[in-house]
Amino acid sequence: MRLYSLLAAAKINLYLEIIGDRPDGFHELVMVMQSVDLADRVTVRSLGPETIRIRCDHPEVPTDGSNLAYRAAALLVEEFPNIMAKYGGVEITIEKHIPVGAGLAGGSANAAAVLVGLDLLWDLGLTQLELQTLGARLGSDVPFSLVGGTAIATGRGEQLDFLYGLDGLWVLLAKYRQLSVSTPWAYQGYRQQFSHTYVSDDVSRQARQARVRSGAMVTALGRQDGHQIGQALQNDLENVVLPAYPQVDRLRQVMAEMGGLGTLMSGSGPTVFTLAATLEEAETLKHQVSERLADTDLELWVARFTPTGVRLMD
Ligand SMILES: C[C@](O)(CO)[C@H](O)COP(=O)(O)OP(=O)(O)OC[C@H]1O[C@@H](n2ccc(N)nc2=O)[C@H](O)[C@@H]1O
Ligand SMILES: Nc1ncnc2c1ncn2[C@@H]1O[C@H](COP(=O)(O)OP(=O)(O)OP(=O)(O)O)[C@@H](O)[C@H]1O
């Protein structure tokens, strides 16, 4: 029986600027994305019956056709209609370590791993560009999740320019256990409240201006300067999520007060992260934050910037 096991890394957004509405209902973005080594383990294994089966150890993750990993496999079957007649079906096992609905692209990472795993299992020989194009059909974060590392993402998040990253940086991630935030809700909220702030209706002009504003982050990454990276952190979705979720706002305040290089909410939240120069600093911050918020149901992780998205395990 053939099988492939892959590690699928979470991401954080070091910079997320919303620059306009798009005709397709999505938003035009300029982001800086960073992979961290908090990763799910995804295994694809051939199966006798011509079917897609999902197994996952996390009770909140669906195992039906709504799972993004299932949708990734279904997309390949749609593109290669005779593939299951030749190879049989597939069982996809997801060992969850990335928190669910957290703004860390866990589902996208799983979908990316399935694309890479099935490319190998089914001998498809897809190019990186083909994988990226298929990934973009599954979700805006999937193309980045495939490659990982550090990248500027534009368009709806699927157009990527990879940067020389800063692999040594550490990050403390914190999330309330029972809390998740809907990504469509966050973007719709932004559109309702802040579309009047878009600098112009000309999206390409907006994109140029936003690129200039995100320049401080890109320069900081180029200089490998953790302090400057911390100062350049920005996420427009905080303007919608923090007022609606006071406990996340409070968590962000507490984490920022504790020190570190800088604090931000990731993606559409509710995970908040603080950057740290060393493992010791990250562990100290973890200890301080959990003491300060001891009366809450907080989960904390220390992770490290990593240069890979999906990685095949030995
Ligand atoms: C918040 C981020 O995680 C930051 O990296 C991403 O922008 C969201 O990426 P994602 O979860 O892969 O998003 P998708 O599955 O493509 O879209 C989910 C929903 O988010 C909203 N959405 C997403 C991306 C984008 N550029 N504009 C949007 O308005 C849309 O309502 C969409 O229906
Ligand atoms: N493979 C999967 N892993 C986790 N959640 C999944 C998966 N497939 C579908 N889902 C559903 O998608 C929802 C969002 O999950 P996910 O963990 O990907 O959110 P997220 O980290 O906020 O994503 P993003 O940062 O891309 O917006 C979950 O509540 C879950 O019901």
Q: Which amino acid would we find at residue 80? A: F
Question: Is 102 annotated as a binding-site member?
Answer: yes
* 47 Cβ neighbours under 8 A, 6+ residues apart: 53, 88, 89, 90, 91
Full-model pTM: 0.96
Which domains occur in the chain, in start order? 3-165 (3.30.230.10), 170-304 (3.30.70.890)
For residue 108, the model assigns a pLDDT of 98
pLDDT, tens only, 239-292: 999 999 999 999 999 999 999 999 999 999 999 999 999 999 999 999 999 999
Instruction: List Cβ neighbours of 129 (8 Å cut-off, separation of 6 or more).
Output: none
Contacts with 266 (C-beta within 8 Å, 6 or more apart), sequence order: 11, 12, 13, 102, 103, 104, 173, 235, 272, 273
Q: Which residues contact 291 (CB under 8 A, 6 or more apart)?
A: none
pLDDT in tens, 151-169: 999 999 999 999 987 778 9
Q: What is the DSSP letter of 278?
A: S
Average pLDDT on 282-307 reads: 95
Q: Nearest ligand, CA of residue 154?
A: 1
Dump pLDDT digits (tens) for 45-92. Answer: 999 899 999 999 999 999 999 999 999 999 999 999 999 999 999 999
Active site residues: 11, 141
pLDDT at site 200: 57
Note the pLDDT tens digit of each residue in 138-149.
999 999 999 999
- Please work out whether the CB of residue 108 comes within 6 Å of at least one atom of ligand 2: yes
Q: Give the three-state DSSP class for 157.
A: coil
What is the three-class DSSP state of 50?
Answer: coil
Written in H, E and C, the secondary structure of 63-106 is CCCCCHHHHHHHHHHHHCCCHHHHHCEEEEEEECCCCCCCCCCH
Residue 133 has pLDDT above 90, yes or no: yes
Which residue's CA is minimally distant from atom 15 of ligand 2? 101
3-class SS at 43?
strand
Strand 272-276 relative to strand 262-265: parallel, antiparallel, unpaired?
Answer: antiparallel
Return the best residue to mutate from 183, 190, 194, 266 for the ligand 1 pocket (most ligand atoms within 8 A of CB): 183
The reply to whether ligand 1 has any atom less than 6 angstroms from the CB of 29 is yes
